[in-house]
Structure 1
């Protein structure tokens, strides 16, 4: 768990996406998203441990002993047909972005979700243009029926589904 502190989640955010009444809009922000503070890191570790204890699966990408990125497939099934599994967490550290790490992690998590008989992944993406663009590049689309629990956890996120 100490390896999570290796991830530098910071990024310069040019634009964020907002969805209101089903309409998507983009807002210029020009701001820096900071690295995790100690409280956020503790919450992240707790969330990760809880998911793993309940049957979730984490996959990491390492640069030597340093965690470069990780993804967490949530344990619970969601969606109207109960055939969707959530990507509960997904981060690639700032110095490792745009190297295919996130794509590879999504491929591995998708393979695991398929092995667990899921037909879709549910993604609650941060609203930054880079995150939304990443998930869309992999075939994710906005969902008109956000999962109530995920929406409660992340009300400003862009909620998406991706067919497997």
Structure 2
């Protein structure tokens, strides 16, 4: 039984439970709202220690600045998590960023990501957001997941987030 519950700063080390590896069949690029798919066919390895340290630091920074995190647990093992940033974005200042979202390899395609995204969406609505801003990795699995949850490429790319992750597919999900 997978349980979705809030995460705190003390939960950051549990991120080491996540196996982010995957076989990448295709990647996407997006220009002027038009996505193009390119076959990739390679294996993306799990994080190394430097990667875990960077993700945990980003997780902690977001929570310290008022962000919200939810984790998916199988017993005591973290099998997925997502982070909602606290800074409002967009022309109308009515978007909150879904900052981090990962489900460990062995637990994917079981609805866990959807449950985490639902919890983060409810929190965003409670904070007054009208949509989620998503800077998705360009992989087929990530882009198709967000699209299946109602996200679409944005016409209004956040320049700060684009500068940090220019290869990502920048999307918005209306709440």
In the superposition, the TM-score normalised over structure 1's length comes to 0.98
Deviations 1:41-70 (A, max 9, x none): 111111110000000000000011110000
Are 2:33 and 2:154, in contact at CA under 8 Å, matched by a contact in 1?
Answer: no
How far off is 1:23 after superposition? 3.0
Tell me, yes or no, if structure 1 residue 6 matches structure 2 residue 25. Answer: no
Name the residue aligned to 1:45.
56
Name the residue aligned to 2:172.
161
Distance 1:26 1:127 in 2: 9
Name the residue aligned to 2:65.
54
Select 2:29's aligned residue among 8, 11, 18. 18
Tell me, yes or no, if structure 1 residue 88 matches structure 2 residue 99. Answer: yes
Name the residue aligned to 1:34.
45
Tell me, yes or no, if structure 1 residue 141 matches structure 2 residue 148. Answer: no
More strand by share: 2
Name the residue aligned to 2:108.
97
Distance 2:150 2:49 in 1: 34
Deviations 1:67-105 (A, max 9, x none): 000000001000000000000000000000011100000
Are 2:80 and 2:113, in contact at CA under 8 Å, matched by a contact in 1?
Answer: yes
Are 2:130 and 2:174, in contact at CA under 8 Å, matched by a contact in 1?
Answer: yes
In the superposition, the TM-score normalised over structure 2's length comes to 0.92
Secondary structure (helix, strand or coil) at the match of 1:130 reads helix
Which consecutive residues of structure 1, in runs of 5 or more, have no partner in the other structure? none
Secondary structure (helix, strand or coil) at the match of 1:48 reads helix
Distance 2:55 2:114 in 1: 21
Which consecutive residues of structure 2, in runs of 5 or more, have no partner in the other structure? 1-11
Number of equivalences: 164
Secondary structure (helix, strand or coil) at the match of 2:47 reads coil
Give me the CA root mean square deviation. 0.8
Secondary structure (helix, strand or coil) at the match of 1:134 reads helix
